[in-house]
Structure 1
Amino acid sequence: MLTEVTATRYVTPLREGGSLPGIVEADDLGTYVMKFTGAGQGRKTLVAEVVCGELGRRLGLRVPDLVRMQLDPVIGLSEPDQEVQELLRASGGLNLGMDFLPGSLGFDPLAFEVSSVEAGRVVWFDALVGNVDRSWRNPNLLVWHGELWLIDHGATMIWHHNWPTAERAAARGYDASDHVLASFAPDVARAAAELAPLVTEELLTEVVALVPEEWLVDEPGFDSPAELRRAYARILAERAAGIGDRVTVGERSTDGPSRVPGWLATELPRRAVK
């Protein structure tokens, strides 16, 4: 089970996130980025954060620690922003916290070098979970102490928003043309060979068991949270088996700063952030 803490002070909202996450302090003296059940995307966003974040960690990727976070809406009474107050009132009870990485920088592909091996592991993982939100437009990567950290997995496993179509999702490929790491020649084949065998039934069962049961109740088409957990594990297992062969990297979309993967290496020299 994830560690459980209680929010003690609401510090400030993070306006960059579409769900309006906030920085909060907790009773373990830690500082967290809190994601709310009352946000517009709902509890499935938090389910995705837990499943994909904890799966990524077990595959050796760097993901900030996640915690179960209890919220008493009263802590936001002094917040002057009406939108924030409404969000806090709608999110009383159990929410999700992500360890705040002080001093971290948003990933900039012009300023930070990523090896083809590491790029391949991130791209393969994003293909596995169907991440649509790790593009050059919105990298959802941080650089902390000179290392790459993965954040914000709420826009993954899109199939769980429409379970009747989820089985077909297992056979879909992954277009990484707009992926923020596409220009680093990601070695997806090597990543698949190393990581796919690790995605076992036991591992997936362990990961989906971390999702709080109250976020899984009353899902249409499922008789119990246990049945729903098995569905998550089944889809991810099916994707892990062959997704490495279905990753494509073509031309970037036309509204980007470039059209061709590799443009960073040819147009501007990179420098590593120390």
Structure 2
Amino acid sequence: MDRRTELNEFLRTRRARLRPQDVGLPEYGGRRRVPGLRREELAQLAGVSVAYYIRLEQGRGGNVSTAVLDAVATALRLTPAERDHLTNLARPAPRGVRPVVRAGASPCSEAARGRVRPALQQLIDTMENVPAYVIGRRLDIIGWNRLACALLGDFAALPPERRNLAWQVFLDPTARALYEDWDAKAADVVGYLRRDAGRNPGDPAMAALIGELSLGSPEFRRLWAAHDVQDKGFGGKVLHHPLVGRLALAYETLTLPADPDQQVITYHAEPGSPSAAALRLLASRQEKTTERTLS
């Protein structure tokens, strides 16, 4: 992806969703050529010259200051995830600069190679009643436990290039039947992927993935063009499993401090609920299947 193009389109789409009256500006008569705020209106709100803002939006802002980016973000009413995305696009890390390695982490860590540390894999394996999986860059699914496979699909049976959350949602037809609100899930996944693309510009594997998804899914093309960005956090999902039926589950996302490119996602049901009983049944079936395979 071209960083300047990404920055231009991101700022343009953020301007398009605001009207002058939304931000306390008078709306003068006359038809607007494009929806939303004009560049000069945003420059006024951010306290910068129109010429400077135009250079920024075109990716020619040079070493733009944090204060200016904060002012533009505030004027556009960006979310925290969108603010981070703006910073990543406007102030990318210089080429050749290695990412900062946190204390205790190795520059040749498992995370850098897209692998899960053995101790982390052992941890999620002990979570026998909690579906858990690990995602890395580009939403690659790089680790999982048995119950996650029973709930979401057998990741181990897929070739490595298909172990990807975005590929699963948009190009695996079983995903539409699995997620009750597939549209919301799809929008979330694109927001996560867009955030990761901004954090890792120039990633050829990311470009290849986006190209494959764009060719294979018109829904992905539409959502990707919106330039929406979000962090994966917590919430709820309703799934329809072919063996145990409907499950209303909560999910939590745990970012690893030593490996910030990796996140652990867990699902759980409200104790005593029908979904909790269904999850226990699924775990029991998975255990019996494993026992038959080993015997």
TM-score scaled by length of structure 1: 0.23
Answer 1 or 2: which has greater helix percent. 2
TM-score scaled by length of structure 2: 0.22
Bigger radius of gyration: 2
Answer 1 or 2: which has greater strand percent. 1
